[in-house]
Structure 1
């Protein structure tokens, strides 16, 4: 696995997407994980000045879906779609950066289940998510 090549490819897909709007950047990849970061600014705040749970969920689904698509699926013949995302928000955040790391719980032929841990710069747990993806043949 060429780590830098994968990160460059993933970050190149962000143009003109929600990932670009939220400033999500893929920063690390390994055989069984993918990590992305997102700045916590007013752009991702809810009305009370805290990180919006929906922005956190978007980060989680992004990293989990891309992990399925680029670590365990054949992107030439298969497409990955999210089936279910559940999030638990543990701690609030006003500013800084959060990091989401997706690790597989289950890697089947047609479904992948991911745990996504979202931490801040000091490794404080902010949120934890579980994402189920389906892997389909491209039409």
Structure 2
């Protein structure tokens, strides 16, 4: 179980994004282990910019989506992890196939979480690396 507060199936995790931007971008949670979680996103007409490359903003959307899901899976009932800051370095283009993002915790504190999210192409080369900071709040304080 590791850092997660309960055991989650991939089906349960993918239900989280069924009726929002996650589904529109075809982001799918693909693996979860004791201290990391992965998701995939296709590089296709939904996610490419006009010049045929994966849109950098959508790489950031994938990173924030996965990091936010991960952050919330570590919390106790009544808490929420909300985005405070994200940065991304785009290292190489992706033009087709699937990209895979892996989120690993850097810090899991009582009020602050930091996640490292690396996005790799099908050749396992890092396309984008991102760091996401989440604030941990009580749900009734949103």
Q: TM-score, normalised by structure 2?
A: 0.91
Higher helix proportion (structure 1 or 2):
1
Alignment of 1:6-85 (within 5 A): 6-70=9-73, 72-74=74-76, 76-85=77-86
Helix, strand or coil for the counterpart of 1:93? coil
Instruction: Point out where structure 1 has 5 or more consecutive residues left out of the alignment.
Output: none
Give, in whole Å, the separation in 2 of the partners of 1:15 and 1:102: 20
Helix, strand or coil for the counterpart of 1:31? coil
Give, in whole Å, the separation in 1 of the partners of 2:45 and 2:88: 21
What CA RMSD, in Å, does the superposition of the two structures yield over aligned residues?
1.2
Give, in whole Å, the separation in 2 of the partners of 1:105 and 1:43: 31
Alignment of 1:66-105 (within 5 A): 66-70=69-73, 72-74=74-76, 76-105=77-106
Give, in whole Å, the separation in 2 of the partners of 1:15 and 1:137: 25
Which string of whole-angstrom CA distances, capped at 9 and with x for unpartnered residues, describes residues 55-84 of structure 1?
A: 1000000111111111x212x311110100
Give, in whole Å, the separation in 1 of the partners of 2:32 and 2:9: 8
Helix, strand or coil for the counterpart of 2:39? strand
Aligned residue-pair number: 136
Higher strand proportion (structure 1 or 2):
1
Offset, 1:6? 3.4
Give, in whole Å, the separation in 1 of the partners of 2:98 and 2:119: 10
Offset, 1:7? 2.0
Q: TM-score, normalised by structure 1?
A: 0.93
